[in-house]
A and B are shown apart, each in its own frame.
Chain A
Amino acid sequence: MAGCARVTGTVAAEESAAPPPEMTTQKEVPMSVARVGKKAPEFEAPAYYRGEFTTVKLSDFAGKWVLLCFYPGDFTFV
């Protein structure tokens, strides 16, 4: 990872949903949308965890219950 590169999370693209190469304008094209009763989209993202910088991957927690919470931003008020 280059020092100032903007790191971000990535989603595992679904094989069946892969567009033809000429249509691929983004590196990651997540085609799956989350729905109850369906598999949660797999992802991998940089994270802060108990004093360390790490990478969190959903499938690392297979066999456990996971609560995934999105929120607008750090240092906001609600």
Chain B
Amino acid sequence: MEVISVSVDSHFVHKMWNDYELSKMVEGGIPFHMASDQAGNLGRAYGVYDEEQGIELRGRFIIDPDGVIQAMEVLTPPVGRRIDETIRQIKAFQHVRATNGAEATPAGWQPGEITLKPGPDLVGNVWKVWNPSMEK
């Protein structure tokens, strides 16, 4: 798993932010690539560059080993993200990929919980194996 963060700040400012603030929150400093997109080119390609404000929105993309986007989420600036939901989604996509698409994960799925095997026998029968109260 690789993480890449992107903002319109220069990589020089990324260094200052890491050294002066983030390294006080995260021991050893930021362990992933902090990319610079001063002209907004990456943000435009991913549909998250705000032309009026000249900033990136809070866009989050899960990209699989084939380079395909499996999930995306975009928030306006004032609300922060929830990291454990992102991790949950990554684990679910990894599980689906490991089964070659033979299994799907129901709402709120966590590793170890039951999965669904899409096929003729499951039509109309999901209620037998899953219901909303199973969501943790």
Contacts and interface: CB of A to CB of B under 8 A. Distances in A.
Contacts, number: 199
Interface of A: 6-11, 28, 30, 32-43, 45-51, 53-54, 56, 58-59, 61-76, 78
A45 B45 CA distance: 13
A54 B32 CA distance: 12
A40 B2 contact: no
A7 to B, nearest CB: 7
Interface of B: 1-18, 21, 29-39, 41-48, 53, 55-72, 77-81, 86, 90, 93-94
Contacts of A75: 13, 17, 21
**Which of B1, B13, B41, B68 has the largest number of chain A CB atoms within 10 A?**
B41
